Amino acid sequence: MPGGPVAAGGGINASGSKNKLAGIAMTAFAAFGGILFGYDTGTIAGIKQMPDWLRKFGVHTTDTTTYPLGYYLPSSRESLVVSILSAGTFFGALLGAPVADILGRRIGIMVSCLVFSLGVALQTGSNNLATFVVGRVFAGGGVGLVSTLIPMYQSECSPKWIRGAVVAGYQWAITIGLLLASVINNATKNRPNHSAWQIPISIQFIWAFILTLGMFYLPESPRWLIKKGRDEAAARALSRLTSLPPDDPEVETELNDIRAALAEEQKLGDSTYIDCFRFSDNKIFLRTMSGILIQAWQQLTGINFIFYYGTTFFQNSGIKNPFLISVATNIVNCFMTLPGMWGIERFGRRSLLLYGAVVMCICEFIVAIVGVTISVENQSGQQALIALVCIYIAAFASTWGPIAWVICGEIFPLNIRAKAMSLSAASNWLWNFGIGYATPYLVNSGPGNADLGVKVFFIWGSTCAGCVIFTYFCIPETKGLSLEQVDLLYQNSTPITSVRYREEIIAQDVHVSDIKQEAEHHDEVEKV
């Protein structure tokens, strides 16, 4: 392709299309799947502290001084119960690619809900730890599928001028799920029977039913339909998403761009996972590794330490009602995602990732320093610790939380999008599993444990410094570009120069189909 942008006619989703709310509402609804993700992640943090659950699945002890209930959860068992969900989600995320390519994005999401519901049923009715763990594996498989399919569906169906905010809605739904889980856990934790933990778990059937029902009425991704050669169905789907007639010039322009970009990719043949790592003018290797690594760095910010082990951590820090503190941190996480959704389209992806990582880095180092220099009896110190953790959560919620999913939904070309997104989501869950499994051994006291306690925040602070370096060298600015224009951005700029080149693309209203037509015309002239 030519190296620079060229002028083109009015593009899809120009200013005149910004009042098309139907398509925005449809793609925004798909974000509801994030509630499955967030709620399932959040329930276990409180459930494993509930007296009835500990009596059912914990280990009996005569040390009633340390464990007044007479039961406790060894680090090995705690690691298994918490992290096994992420093992399921890892494989579910990898399965997201064939599911997305064979069944489609929309049907794939509904299948995910069925797998998830099977896991919920097993957990709710479990009489032993093995059944509970198997249930978490199946639930994790459903969540892993959702984590691949929903950002993909939203990115492919959203108007480009608001795509970042729409995909960020997925992260907001995750935070809502986390908040709902902490509230419901707090409401049921003192019930004297199995309903204390069965109610929070079984409520997940409701979330799966709502998402499945809604997806029946949503259109399939036009990009997937084009890839399958179903051009008429793609035109109808795009018509619903834009509230324009199927034969409208704007609809046809968008479809031509999709066809042109796909044709360039298909010249190289059918895509495989190996193709996700090839070096090319399209910078496929950089894009795939950027998606994989941004999800890894998101987990390495340490955020899931708070949501998996926050209740235990605050309790060990001398805070009297750790369940309420957990609710408070989830409220911060939920509501601070909203300014992030606005900021993604106002300030862009790259700058927010940089600033967010800097703030998190500072907060986490201060938390670690405060934690090791004060006693648990120091009330003012504990309040300062909670405040710093809340600032850290706010920085994550408004930057790295939503933007990592937005980036992964935007940077891959259509021909490998399902595979590359599945690898990115699998990376998220692999690191989630590793951190979830290792944390009890890092934080807890006793034989075989590192007993780091609050000092673990020195690790998270260092990894946030790594987030700054990674973003600066690897993540371009993609705000306001169509998915096909992102291909041009990667071909003709670097992450460091992407801000300037992006402005050129928007100013000159570049279309991939126009560039292809000019190239073909140039070739014909040369032949003559």
Q: Which residues contact 231 (CB under 8 A, 6 or more apart)?
A: 225, 255
pLDDT tens figures, 489-517: 999 999 999 999 999 998 888 777 666 65
Segment holding 396, helix H or strand E? helix 379-398
Rounded to 10 deg, the angle between the 105-124 and 195-202 helix axes is: 170
List, in sequence order, every residue forming a beta bridge with 71; answer none if it has no partner. 60
| CA pair distance 467, 475, nearest whole angstrom | 11
Q: Is the pLDDT of residue 105 over 80?
A: yes
Whole-number percent of the chain with pLDDT over 90: 43
How many domains is the chain built from?
1
Q: Which two tokens stand for residue 480?
A: 């306001």
**Under 8 Å between Cβ of 341 and 402:** yes
Residue 18 binned pLDDT confidence (cut-offs 50, 70, 90): very low
Look at residue 515 in the predicted model and tell me its pLDDT: 67
CATH of the domain at 24: 1.20.1250.20
Residue 362 has pLDDT above 80, yes or no: yes
Residue 515, in any domain of the structure: no
Q: Which residues have a Cβ under 8 Å from the Cβ of 376 and sit 6 or more positions away?
A: 316, 317, 318, 382
Per-residue HEC secondary structure of 404-472 comes to HHHHHHHCCCHHHHHHHHHHHHHHHHHHHHHHHHHHHHHHCCCCCCCCCHHHHHHHHHHHHHHHHHHHH
Across residues 430-447, what is the average pLDDT? 80
The fraction of the chain above a pLDDT of 70, given in percent, is 89
Q: Which domain holds residue 395?
A: 20-218+269-475
Mean pLDDT to the nearest integer, 323-333: 80
User: Pick the residue with more confidence: 183 or 9?
Assistant: 183
In the prediction, which pLDDT does 320 show? 65
Confidence (pLDDT) at 436: 75
Q: Tokens 């918490």 sit at which residue?
A: 82
432 vs 475, residue with greater confidence:
475
Q: 224 lies in a domain?
A: no
Tokens of residue 500, six digits: 């300037």
- pLDDT score of 276 more than 50: yes
Q: What is the pLDDT of residue 374?
A: 81
Q: Is residue 204 part of a domain?
A: yes
User: What does the alpha-carbon distance between residue 290 and residue 407 come to, in Å, rounded to a whole number?
Assistant: 9
- Is residue 519 pLDDT above 60, yes or no? no
397: number of CA atoms within 13 Å, CB side? 27
* Average pLDDT of the residues in 232-255: 87
Provide the pLDDT confidence category of residue 16 given band limits of 50, 70 and 90: very low
Which DSSP symbol is given to 268? Answer: T
CA nearest 302: which of 382, 384, 401, 376? Answer: 401
Residues whose CB falls within 8 Å of the CB of residue 481, separated by 6 or more in sequence, listed in order: 160, 410, 489, 502, 505, 506
| Structural domain includes residue 400 | yes
Give the pLDDT of residue 321: 67
Tokens representing 180 are: 């709902």
Q: What angle do CA 95, 488, 98 make, to 5 degrees?
A: 10
Judged by DSSP in three states, 497 sits in coil
- Is residue 497 included in any domain, yes or no? no
Alpha-carbon torsion, ordered 59, 60, 61, 64, to 10 deg: 110
pLDDT digits (tens, 9 = 90+) for 111-153: 999 999 999 999 999 988 899 999 999 999 999 999 999 999 9
- What pLDDT does residue 310 have? 64
Candidates 139, 45, 33; CA nearest to 86 is 139
Residue 165: partners with Cβ closer than 8 Å, 6 or more residues away? 341, 342, 344, 345
Residue 252 forms part of a structural domain: no
pLDDT at 219: 92
Give the bridge partners for 59, in sequence order: 72
Q: Pull the structure tokens for residue 226.
A: 């084009």
Note the pLDDT of residue 10. Answer: 31
Q: Quote the mean pLDDT of the chain.
A: 84
pLDDT at site 296:
95
Q: Is residue 195 part of a domain?
A: yes
Contact by Cβ (8 Å): 408, 296: no
What is the rounded distance in angstroms from the CA atom of residue 468 to the CA atom of residue 474? 10
**Six-digit token string for 374:** 């004060």
Length of the chain: 528
Cβ atoms < 10 Å from Cβ of 128:
9
Torsion from C-alpha of 260, 265, 267, 269, nearest 10 degrees: -140
Judged against a pLDDT cut of 50, whether residue 421 lies above it is answered with: yes
Q: List Cβ neighbours of 380 (8 Å cut-off, separation of 6 or more).
A: none
CA distance 399 to 368: 22
Structural domain contains residue 253? no
